[in-house]
């Protein structure tokens, strides 16, 4: 059952586990982050294991044999770019579909439009009101749409509150609500060392790229092609896979971004057991050493003893080295072309 609908049940579960502890006696599911729910007093600390199940990423949905293992290979000392997967990709397809199973089985823009509309309405009218008291649903709908327009960008709460005609405390509460409801993630910046001047703001990303795109009004390839911010939406589509990679081993894997006050930045920093990989995402078919400026600045600012493995520019072209531990690699395999998306696991 979804625990957020009956939060008082957690206390009863705790008592039973304390009386007789048998692994697997209880399986609790929910569409809310228990650790962020302020009205839940019992966390089952020391009595439960927590698994985060984000929406499907493309390789998971297609049951790929390689899964996401190429990402793991980036942490290898002997990484060989010639072994990186090469296949045709179609990121707009996956951006519009996202990772919810019901949507992945739909083949038309119109059908997805209807589904996301119904999902958003049910979330607002049912799940949202179980998590928090929202005075004005139209205000919250407008807030979600404006938040979606800022996907893959640094989150400025003051600016967002102003554009949504909301107070800053209300904006802050609504963002917390979206995060508690497992709809958004706010990526922190990776702190290279205490003396580095870094931007502290978090980066806003939607856990399901299809929902984020729909809320932003991107409901077809034509509408996506007309946007000037396509690079941010490619980043959002790739995030769908990176968040899956992180949750496969959430105890040892972390996901960040990096940006200093001079404007140098890296889209994603992957950390695995203390090892680091820097990833920059480009929509173009060409990648040059100039595209690694942020990665080089990040690597140069790391404190002594930090293990930097590789820097990668994911782009639409071919795999090739760009320098020492620097590579241009295609993102196509993360968003492969599929004639028809079938059933899942």
pLDDT tens digits, residue range 133-145?
777 888 999 999 9
Instruction: Using alpha carbons, list the distances in angstroms from residue 9 to 48, 126, 340.
Output: 14, 19, 42
Q: Residue 82's pLDDT is what?
A: 96
pLDDT band at 345; cut points 50, 70, 90 = very low
Q: Residue 286's pLDDT is what?
A: 93
Both 16 and 127 in a single domain?
no
Share of the chain above pLDDT 70, in %: 83
Taking residues 160-176, report their average pLDDT: 95
List the domain range (segments joined by +) for residue 255.
Answer: 58-334
The Cα 207–Cα 345 span in angstroms is 20
Q: Which helix (H) or strand (E) holds 18?
A: helix 9-19
Query: Has residue 35 got a pLDDT over 90?
Result: no
Both 225 and 128 in a single domain?
yes
Q: Residue 34's pLDDT is what?
A: 52
Residue 345 lies in a domain: no
Average pLDDT, the chain: 88
Both 129 and 271 in a single domain?
yes
pLDDT band at 298; cut points 50, 70, 90 = very high
For 201, how many CA atoms within 13 A lie in the half-sphere containing its CB?
15
Residue 63 lies in a domain: yes
Residue 312 lies in a domain: yes
Which tokens hold the place of 294?
Answer: 């942020």
Number of domains in the chain: 2
The Cα 227–Cα 80 span in angstroms is 36
Residue 344 lies in a domain: no
Taking residues 267-292, report their average pLDDT: 96
Which tokens hold the place of 19?
Answer: 């009386």
Taking residues 141-161, report their average pLDDT: 96
Q: Residue 134's pLDDT is what?
A: 79
Both 159 and 252 in a single domain?
yes
Least confident window among 10-14, 219-223, 268-272: 10-14
Residue 81 lies in a domain: yes
Both 94 and 44 in a single domain?
no
Both 86 and 18 in a single domain?
no
Q: Residue 198's pLDDT is what?
A: 77
Encode 46-82: b = buried (16+ Cβ within 10 Å), e = exposed: eeeeeeeebbbbbbbbbeeeebbebbbbbbeeebebe
pLDDT band at 1; cut points 50, 70, 90 = very low
Chain position carrying tokens 């904006």: 171
Residue 129 lies in a domain: yes
Query: Has residue 99 got a pLDDT over 90?
Result: yes
Both 79 and 129 in a single domain?
yes
Both 206 and 314 in a single domain?
yes
Residue 339 lies in a domain: no
Q: Residue 342's pLDDT is what?
A: 45
110-120 pLDDT, tens digit per residue, is 999 999 999 99
Both 44 and 95 in a single domain?
no
Both 295 and 159 in a single domain?
yes
Residue 24 lies in a domain: yes
Both 87 and 194 in a single domain?
yes
66-98 pLDDT, tens digit per residue, is 899 999 999 999 999 999 999 999 999 999 999
Both 34 and 163 in a single domain?
no
């Amino acid at each position: 059952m979804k625990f957020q609908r009956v939060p008082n049940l957690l206390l009863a579960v705790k008592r039973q586990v304390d009386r007789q502890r048998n692994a697997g006696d209880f399986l609790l599911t929910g569409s809310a982050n228990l650790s962020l729910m302020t009205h839940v007093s019992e966390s089952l600390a020391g009595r439960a294991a927590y698994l985060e199940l984000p929406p499907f990423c493309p390789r998971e949905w297609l049951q790929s044999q390689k899964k996401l293992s190429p990402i793991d290979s980036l942490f290898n000392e002997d990484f060989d770019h010639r072994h990186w997967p090469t296949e045709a990709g179609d990121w707009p397809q996956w951006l519009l579909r996202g990772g919810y199973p019901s949507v992945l089985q739909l083949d038309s823009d119109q059908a997805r439009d209807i589904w996301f509309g119904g999902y958003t309405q049910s979330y607002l009218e049912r799940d949202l009101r179980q998590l928090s008291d929202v005075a004005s649903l139209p205000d919250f709908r407008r807030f979600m749409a404006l938040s979606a327009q800022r996907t893959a960008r640094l989150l400025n709460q003051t600016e967002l509150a102003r554009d949504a005609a909301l107070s800053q405390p209300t904006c802050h509460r609504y963002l917390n609500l979206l995060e508690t409801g497992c709809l958004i993630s706010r990526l922190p910046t990776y702190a290279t060392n205490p003396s580095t001047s870094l931007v502290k703001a978090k980066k806003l990303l939607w856990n399901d790229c299809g929902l984020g795109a729909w809320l932003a009004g991107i409901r077809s390839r034509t509408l996506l092609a007309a946007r000037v911010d396509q690079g941010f939406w490619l980043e959002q589509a790739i995030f769908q896979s990176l968040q899956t990679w992180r949750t496969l081993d959430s105890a040892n894997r972390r996901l960040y971004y990096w940006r200093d006050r001079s404007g140098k930045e890296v889209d994603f920093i992957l950390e695995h057991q203390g090892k680091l990989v820097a990833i920059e995402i480009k929509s173009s078919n060409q990648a040059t050493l100039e595209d690694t400026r942020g990665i080089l600045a990040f690597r140069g600012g790391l404190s002594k003893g930090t293990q930097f493995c590789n820097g990668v520019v994911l782009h639409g072209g071919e795999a090739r080295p760009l320098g020492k531990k620097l590579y241009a690699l295609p993102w196509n395999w993360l968003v492969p072309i599929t004639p028809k998306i079938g059933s899942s696991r």
